[in-house]
């Protein structure tokens, strides 16, 4: 297998976090499950944008209906060759309008917003690293930056679960919608920069459904052609960059399928780095936390 480390500037991020990858991790993350987790290929999208690869991890535990619909559209090949029709440089790149391009009928159904999810602290461990002024915790869940109720809330709630939500940091994939919170269907956006907080605070959190994040290719996402300010980033299809192709990794032949490992945020190596981190006090500062390392292995034949 050919191995590469993704998300760029890993050495700088590790130095910032006071981290060092062990020799065993570099020798093979598959042999170090305490510090690395393998991404399920059924929940890994391989996007090709401007002929460059972006790997996106899907999270059905965050947004099951949205992930199921994204995978169906992908497997229908109806995301292929669609333009990024609205791109704002310091914000996001929006695409995925299948009906206008393909006239797909019947249309994909509208989905109810999945802005928060009920988390069982015993099964979905968040590494809390900070707290907002309002009392919400901030931390890492499998490499996602999340916000929500402390674990102790589960013990006093009837559901025995705590409310948690991912926040709109760079690389996040989220669903577009109209003013109706339950109107998402096919359009999505890829975050180029942070837009955290609630809409009342100028952000997108708890109001748009996050269904994944780019594990690699943030530079590609930031390189998508932006539209002019006077059109709010909108571009004619002929001028827009394209989402050339999207595939579920599990559908690829084994000799074409990347194997992706993400550093465990609840593992000992990452835990050792936490003491050097500046504790975030708001979602924006949480998005500035060091990225979680990703290793991509590819077949050599």
Helix, strand counts (H, E) of the chain: 7, 18
Interatomic CA distance for residues 116 and 256, integer angstroms:
35
CA atoms within 13 A on the CB side of 145: 30
Q: Are 190 and 221 in contact (CB under 8 A)?
A: yes
pLDDT of 155 reads: 62
pLDDT of 151 reads: 79
Question: Is 299 inside a domain boundary?
Answer: no
Domain count, the chain: 1
Question: Is 146 inside a domain boundary?
Answer: yes
Instruction: Tell me which DSSP letter residue 63 carries.
Output: -
Q: Are 96 and 187 in contact (CB under 8 A)?
A: yes
Interatomic CA distance for residues 107 and 184, integer angstroms:
12
Q: Which residues contact 264 (CB under 8 A, 6 or more apart)?
A: 34, 35, 36, 37, 142, 270
Closest C-alpha to 190, from 72, 54, 283 = 54
Query: In terms of DSSP bridges, do strands 162-166 and 144-148 run parallel, antiparallel, or are they unpaired?
Result: antiparallel
Paired strand residues for 137: 131, 148
pTM: 0.90
pLDDT digits (tens), the chain, 301 positions: 666 655 433 333 333 333 344 434 456 899 999 999 999 999 999 999 999 999 999 999 999 999 999 999 999 999 999 999 999 999 999 999 998 877 777 789 999 999 999 999 888 999 999 999 989 999 999 999 999 988 777 666 656 688 999 999 999 999 999 999 999 999 999 999 999 999 999 999 999 999 999 999 999 999 999 999 999 999 999 999 999 999 999 999 999 999 999 999 999 999 998 888 899 999 999 999 988 999 999 988 6
Whichever domain contains 203, its CATH number is: 2.40.100.10
Question: Is 39 inside a domain boundary?
Answer: yes
Q: Are 277 and 112 in contact (CB under 8 A)?
A: no
Q: Count other C-beta atoms under 10 Å from residue 134's C-beta.
A: 7
Question: Is 301 inside a domain boundary?
Answer: no
Question: Is 14 inside a domain boundary?
Answer: yes
pLDDT of 196 reads: 97
Question: Is 298 inside a domain boundary?
Answer: no
Question: Is 85 inside a domain boundary?
Answer: yes
Terminal Cα-to-Cα distance of the chain (whole angstroms)? 9
Q: Domain range for residue 108?
A: 2-293
Q: Are 109 and 258 in contact (CB under 8 A)?
A: no
Question: Is 300 inside a domain boundary?
Answer: no
Note the helical H segments in the chain.
10-17, 23-27, 64-75, 98-102, 218-222, 268-273, 283-287
For residue 153, say if its preceding peptide bond is cis, omega within 30 degrees of 0.
no
């Amino acid at each position: 297998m050919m191995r590469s480390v993704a998300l760029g500037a890993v050495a700088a991020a590790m130095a910032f976090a006071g981290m060092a990858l062990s020799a065993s991790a570099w020798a093979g993350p598959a042999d170090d499950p305490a510090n690395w987790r393998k991404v399920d290929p059924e929940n890994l999208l391989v996007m090709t944008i401007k002929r460059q690869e972006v790997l996106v991890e899907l999270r059905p535990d965050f947004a099951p209906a949205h992930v199921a619909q994204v995978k169906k559209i992908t497997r229908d090949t109806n995301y292929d060759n669609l333009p990024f029709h609205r791109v704002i440089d310091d914000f996001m790149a929006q695409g995925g309008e299948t009906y206008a391009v393909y006239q797909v009928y019947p249309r994909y159904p509208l989905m109810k917003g999945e802005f928060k999810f009920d988390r069982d602290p015993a099964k979905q461990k968040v590494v809390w690293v900070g707290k907002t002024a309002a009392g919400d915790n901030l931390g890492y869940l499998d490499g996602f930056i999340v916000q929500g109720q402390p674990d102790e809330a589960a013990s006093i709630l009837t559901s025995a679960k705590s409310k948690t939500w991912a926040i709109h940091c760079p690389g996040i994939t989220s669903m577009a919608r109209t003013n109706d919170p339950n109107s998402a269907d096919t359009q999505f956006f890829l975050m180029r920069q942070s837009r955290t907080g609630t809409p009342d605070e100028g952000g997108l959190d708890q109001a748009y459904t996050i269904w994944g994040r780019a594990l690699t290719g943030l530079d590609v996402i930031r390189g998508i052609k932006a539209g002019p300010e006077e059109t709010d980033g909108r571009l004619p299809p002929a001028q827009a960059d394209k989402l050339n192709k999207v595939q579920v990794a599990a559908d690829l032949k084994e000799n074409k399928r990347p194997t992706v490992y993400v550093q465990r945020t609840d593992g000992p190596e990452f835990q050792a780095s936490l003491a050097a981190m500046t504790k975030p006090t708001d979602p924006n500062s949480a998005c500035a936390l060091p990225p979680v390392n990703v290793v991509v292995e590819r077949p050599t034949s």
